[in-house]
Amino acid sequence: MSGNIRLLSDTLARAKSEDRAALIAYLPAGFPTVDGGIEAIKAVLDGGADIVEVGLPHSDPVLDGPVIQTADDIALRGGVRIADVMRTVREAHAATGKPVLVMTYWNPIDRYGVERFTAELAEAGGAGCILPDLPVQESAVWREHARKHELATVFVVAPSSRDARLAEITAAGSGFVYAASLMGVTGTRESVGAQAQDLVGRTRATAAGRGLPVCVGLGVSNAEQAAEVAGFADGVIVGSAFVKRLLDAGDQAAGIAAVRALAGELAEGVRKR
């Protein structure tokens, strides 16, 4: 069965045709429970997110700050498994028709088996994977299987990435490039910073022949920041702010309402670029 890389590309292209950035949300699978996480992701998509990243909880999340680490710990203690991640992808996509990616570190995929993982992700309706710790020069096996199953391979670039490195990543990646707005881990910030705009410009320059979209994450938490980033990026990625809304909610119903409302606010923000 084929994955949904085409749906991902079409969604980003449609946002561009509407003269706005796409809103990409992140929530980990299994948080606060598997069923609760699925409902939260549906709410975010229904609230206005164009695309969602489903996090695969990991015991050593090197890119993630304390908010997402807390959510991952809750999910892991609840016994979340890769099968639950696939179920989350399947149900979120089936309910909304929107692109759903998995964001994961490499070790769980390596242990599970690349062919098995890509085949199951495609069967679930997934659009691809974001792989923050997979070096592009070591990604050939993954990319071979991802292409076979029509899944996107999204690599992460940082302000420290040199132009030669950016060129290598944009040549190998597909779907979009995830541009980390600053050096450090995920989390909300007072400002996103000028580094992000410079990184987007340099990344686009290396991908000029392919037109690969560049989406910015790390630090965006409100409509004003979303509007700022939407002024220079193809997509705005928000994760910790959604997770924090769920962590701060008194119960599941309140959490669902809170993330739906935040998605609506951010969706308005990306339209005010």
Give the H/E segment covering residue 23.
Answer: strand 22-28
Closest CA to 75 of 42, 107, 108, 37: 37
Describe the chain by its helix, strand, coil percentages, rounded to 5: 50, 15, 35
Packed helices 34-47 and 252-270: angle between N→C axes, nearest 10 degrees? 30
Q: CB neighbours of 160 closer than 8 A, spacing ≥ 6? A: 183
Cα–Cα separations (whole angstroms), residue 262 to 39, 149, 197, 266 = 15, 33, 24, 6
The label of the residue with tokens 């309140």 reads 254
* CA atoms within 13 Å, Cβ hemisphere of 220: 32
Q: Which residues are catalytic?
A: 53, 64
- Please provide residue 232's backbone torsions phi and psi, each rounded to the nearest 5 degrees: -135, -5
The dihedral sign for the CA sequence 62, 26, 161, 194: negative
